[in-house]
């Protein structure tokens, strides 16, 4: 297994993905990749623009939920696709990072599915065998 990654899991009604990384910032960056891959053809999105994302949460789980919610809102409200997140920093209640992507171009981008929300269902970030791990369930 690589030091960081994600994998879609079988969840009956909704979408679930396992995430793992060797650091919390990398885990948050992997989560952006997993969510983006579900919503659209992520590999077709170019790193044209940057957006700074900052969210707050009282614990790592709430921070992850809000981090992904705000990433998704770039698409729903801003019609902007995220290719990746870099420079993720977690400090106290704040998570900050840079999203790379571009506005939707219907000629080049294939959109897949809308999501309703990032859920707290069974959400727990744990450290096992030197890796940070969690499973996120997304309501679709």
Beta bridge partners of 97: 53
- Residues 41 and 83: their CA atoms lie apart, in Å, by 9
Nearest distance in Å: CB 80, other proteins? 11
- Residue of 18, 22, 37, 61 interacting with other proteins (CB under 8 A): 61
From the list 18, 32, 52, the residue with the least C-alpha distance to 125 is 18
Helices (H), 40-102: 60-76
Q: For strands 94-103 and 126-128, give the pairing.
A: unpaired
Binding mask 4-43 for other proteins (x = CB under 8 A): ----xxxxxxxx-----------------------xx---
- How many residues in the chain? 140
Taking CB under 8 A as the binding criterion, the range among 20-28, 68-76, 82-90, 127-135 that sits at the site for other proteins is 68-76
Q: What is the contact surface with other proteins in residues (CB under 8 A)?
A: 8-15, 39-40, 58-62, 69, 75-77, 79, 111-114, 116-117, 119-124, 137, 139-140
């Amino acid at each position: 297994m690589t030091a960081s990654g994600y994998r879609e899991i079988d969840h009956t009604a909704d979408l679930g993905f396992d995430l793992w990384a060797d650091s919390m910032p990398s885990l948050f960056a992997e989560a952006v990749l997993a969510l983006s891959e579900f919503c659209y053809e992520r590999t077709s999105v170019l790193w044209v623009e940057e957006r700074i994302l900052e969210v707050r949460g009282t614990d790592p789980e709430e921070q992850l939920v809000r981090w992904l919610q705000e990433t998704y809102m770039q698409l729903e409200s801003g019609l902007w696709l995220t290719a990746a997140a870099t420079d993720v920093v977690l400090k106290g209640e704040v998570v900050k990072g840079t999203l790379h992507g571009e506005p939707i171009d219907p000629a080049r981008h294939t959109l897949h599915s809308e999501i309703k929300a990032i859920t707290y269902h069974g959400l727990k970030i744990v450290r096992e065998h030197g890796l940070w791990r969690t499973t996120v369930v997304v309501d679709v």
